[in-house]
């Protein structure tokens, strides 16, 4: 106290608010909203920076208690040794593949993947000498033929936009036989539905923006993996940036607490919508692995806890009918992303893929009347009524 009184006002204003030590466990993980940390000596600073002893240094990926709490939670849910947080799902994917692959390497990737990932693989990685072979992930012979000599295999548990389920058990076996590192994007499934590490996948990436966060109020990513791969991914991130911020980690921790409850509702509502759509003659196709007639149903029954919260369907009437359906909805929203409390629909032919001609869209598996749906947390009966009236107006 006497020292503080001897210091001038500006010095006391800066130093008097030092965080007090706390020896109790709080009910909610605190937000450690700090970019840097204090050390007693330069030797302490050096020891922590070089990972000779635990501690925190700087916010650009060196570690933050709030982020580390999220990482531990995701690792537990994904049944891996460790995890690492990122500023977005694409940051997680970029850091993962550039940690694993270098110039001269080749990646085998599913042709049906998120558009941002496809752009990274098709446009950016070749500029750095990394070759990418795209395959039909459900054609085992094609995958087996492409894997020899490849550095890694990259797939999605449930692919966008046709909700195709990958057989992770078989794909994991093929990757191991070829000596390739197995990487999977588990965003559409979430660890509630599937834990890909059980099937031999080495790294599991997520856009935490979606189901993990669950409230459409954060942008983040995470990779769950072994302790050794985490160290390697962390080293890449320290150089390129893209680490998760503490506030986003706190928001995601809040979301994880209700993940099981939310996923149960997402899945139940998606199943009800899929049954409604599959029974309607104006719908030419319904894509939902929870339906008995879906091509992915058998794999989903073995691999997923439930059918998931995502579905897609195709309307007769093509482009115009798809746009009219979306515009006629009163409960569900038109919007990007998925996994939040609101039911979201997207009509690729008139929005995200409008720049492609009809032939190019069909080649990508996108029918002109295709609608993608992220089932939200509204009352299912209200959504069923909303979809029914929108079908009437669209067709």
Domain boundaries, the chain: 42-256, 259-394
Tell me if residue 23 is catalytic: no
Parallel, antiparallel or unpaired: strands 106-110 and 152-156:
parallel
Tell me if residue 136 is catalytic: no
Tell me which of 62, 154, 167, 185 is the catalytic residue.
185
- The CATH code that applies to domain 42-256 is 3.40.640.10
Beta strands, E only, the chain = 82-86, 106-110, 131-135, 152-156, 158-159, 164-165, 181-185, 203-207, 221-225, 283-287, 310-315, 333-334, 344-346, 370-374
Tell me if residue 60 is catalytic: yes
Predicted local confidence at residue 172, as pLDDT: 98
Q: What is the dihedral of CA 378, 384, 386, 387, to 10 degrees?
A: 120
Q: Nearest CA to 192 among 310, 311, 74, 72? A: 74
Predicted local confidence at residue 1, as pLDDT: 42
Q: What is the CA radius of gyration of the chain?
A: 23
CA distance 360 to 371: 17
Predicted local confidence at residue 358, as pLDDT: 76
CA distance 16 to 25: 24
Predicted local confidence at residue 13, as pLDDT: 87
Tell me which of 60, 106, 111, 305 is the catalytic residue.
60
Predicted local confidence at residue 2, as pLDDT: 45
Instruction: Decide: helix, strand or coil at residue 202.
Output: coil
**Plot region of 388 (φ>0 → left; ψ -120 to 50 → alpha; else → beta):** alpha
Tell me which of 151, 210, 230, 361 is the catalytic residue.
210
Tell me if residue 393 is catalytic: no
What class has domain 259-394?
Answer: alpha beta
Pair 273, 383: CB distance under 8 Å: yes
Predicted local confidence at residue 306, as pLDDT: 98
CA distance 373 to 395: 18
Its pTM stands at 0.94
Q: Taking the chain (395 residues) in consecutive chunks of 10 residues, what is each chunk's mean pLDDT?
A: 72 87 91 94 94 91 95 98 98 98 98 90 96 96 98 96 95 98 98 98 98 98 98 96 97 98 98 98 97 96 98 94 96 96 91 69 80 97 98 94
Tell me which of 114, 118, 154, 192 is the catalytic residue.
114
Two tokens, residue 362: 């069909």
């Amino acid at each position: 106290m006497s020292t503080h009184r001897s210091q001038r006002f500006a010095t006391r204003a800066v130093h008097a608010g030092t965080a007090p030590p706390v020896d109790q466990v709080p009910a909610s993980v605190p937000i450690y909203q700090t970019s840097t940390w204090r050390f007693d000596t330069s030797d302490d600073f050096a020891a922590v920076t070089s990972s000779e002893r635990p501690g925190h240094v700087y916010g650009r990926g060196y570690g933050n208690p709030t982020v580390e709490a999220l990482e531990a939670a995701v690792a537990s849910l994904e049944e891996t040794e460790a995890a690492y947080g990122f500023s977005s799902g694409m940051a997680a994917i970029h850091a993962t593949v550039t940690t694993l692959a270098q110039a001269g390497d080749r990646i085998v990737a599913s042709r049906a993947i998120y558009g941002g990932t496809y752009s990274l693989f098709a446009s950016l990685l070749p500029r750095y000498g990394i070759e990418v072979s795209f395959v039909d992930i459900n054609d085992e012979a094609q995958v087996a033929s492409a894997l020899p000599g490849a550095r890694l295999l990259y797939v999605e548990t449930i692919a966008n936009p046709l909700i195709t389920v990958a057989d992770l058990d078989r794909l994991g076996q093929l990757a191991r036989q070829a000596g390739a590192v197995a990487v999977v994007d588990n965003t559409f499934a979430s660890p509630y539905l599937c834990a890909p590490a059980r099937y031999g996948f080495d790294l599991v990436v997520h856009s935490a923006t979606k189901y993990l966060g669950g409230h459409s109020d954060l942008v983040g990513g995470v990779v769950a993996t072994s302790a050794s791969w985490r160290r390697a991914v962390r080293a890449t991130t320290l150089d390129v940036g893209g680490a998760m911020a503490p506030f986003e980690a706190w928001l995601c921790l809040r979301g994880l607490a209700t993940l099981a409850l939310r996923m149960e509702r997402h899945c139940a509502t998606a199943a009800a919508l899929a049954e409604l759509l599959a029974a309607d003659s104006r719908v030419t196709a319904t894509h939902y692995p929870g339906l008995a007639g879906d091509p992915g149903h058998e794999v989903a029954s073995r691999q997923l806890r439930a059918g998931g919260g995502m579905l897609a369907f195709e309307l007769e009437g093509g482009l115009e009918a798809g746009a009219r359906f979306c515009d006629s909805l009163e409960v569900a929203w038109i919007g990007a992303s998925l996994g939040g409390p609101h039911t979201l629909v997207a009509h690729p032919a008139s929005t995200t893929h409008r720049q492609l001609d009809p032939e190019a869209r069909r080649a990508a598996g996108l029918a002109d009347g295709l609608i993608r749906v992220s089932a939200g947390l509204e009352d299912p009966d209200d959504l069923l009524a909303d979809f029914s009236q929108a079908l009437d107006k669209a067709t």
